[in-house]
Amino acid sequence: MSHPRTAFVTGSAGFIGFHLCQRLLEDGFRVIGVDSFNAYYDVGLKRARHAMLTDHPSFTGAEALLEQPGQLQALLAEHRPQVVLHLAAQAGVRHSIDQPRDYLNANIIGTFELLEAARTHPPAHMLLGSTSSAYGANTAMPYAETDKADTQMSFYAATKKATEAMAHSYAHLYDLPVTMFRFFTVYGPWGRPDMALFKFTRAILQGDPVDIYNHGDMMRDFTYIDDLVEAIRRLIEVPPERPQGPVPEGDSLSPVAPFRIVNIGNGAPVRLMDFVEAVEAATGRSAIRNYLPMQPGDVPATWADTRLLERLVGPMPRTGIHDGVQAFVEWYRNYYQV
């Protein structure tokens, strides 16, 4: 009888990590979930997510700071996972302007500690979260993984781009198969309170004004959480291999390492005002709109080229904005009893 595979997930109490852990447990994995439960947003929300995971007999939770030397080394030595999924990070463009050191510690030093642990206890596949913000000031749309991406516009984006470069060097030096995900504006139930959908929903239900940046002239490739998790789940089974010849056109596979960058997005940008209208429809209320200029470090538009993703794992589900927002608003009303 074959033993269940072990997946090691960092950021397991986070929005994406929680949903991914649930999916892996459903699929029969043994899951080791690590989170620091930092106070960047409501720790109660993180505890509630983790409590749901802890109810599952195949889940083992650990509270640890990634950047603490030796913590991840000990956990990987103990559990010897076949798959490592690194989703823990200090997130948020705005916060990186106020507290850049948090990003240095969690994103760069934390990722370094994980890479060192994986070098000693190599998994069959390492999958690490990056961001569409890595494309920075690029204006050619949709963003393709093979595009040059050297103009990051926030320190958050800069730290995530740095982790891509770090992971590439470890993939090359130690033959670690690494897939980097560039996520595009993820939303859905149990989402982060610092994200637009959460803020819009809370404000509309409380009758408060909604802050709309760049006077609403923005577009985002909003990606529903279940679609994102489906993509990650399928990519687990497609570890990159060091190329033996020329890399196929349109593939971001490194010419010298078992390393690949993959966009995970819906592949269809949505106007910010259409998003606001979807929240209005789901809540049954009108927003009081407070139009503001663009925020520092932000970009006017994102749009994922998803051709490489679909070439690797097949056609992907694409939840529409109205269905996704409806699901979030129902969760929000239920969780906060409003």
User: What is d(CA 7, CA 233) in angstroms, rounded to the nearest whole number?
Assistant: 11
Q: SS3 for 140?
A: coil
Q: Which one of the listed residues 41, 103, 143, 156 is annotated catalytic?
A: 156
* Cis before 142? omega within 30: yes
Asked if 41 is an active-site residue, the reply is no
The runs of H, that is alpha helices, within 207-298 are: 225-236, 272-283
User: What is d(CA 201, CA 326) in angstroms, rounded to the nearest whole number?
Assistant: 11
Kindly tell me the burial class for residue 258, based on how many C-beta atoms sit within 10 Å of its own C-beta (0-12, 13-18, 19 or more).
buried
User: What is d(CA 143, CA 52) in angstroms, rounded to the nearest whole number?
Assistant: 36
CA contacts within 13 A on the Cβ side of 168: 15
Q: Dihedral of CA 67/259/310/233: which sign?
A: negative
User: Which residues are identified as catalytic?
Assistant: 156
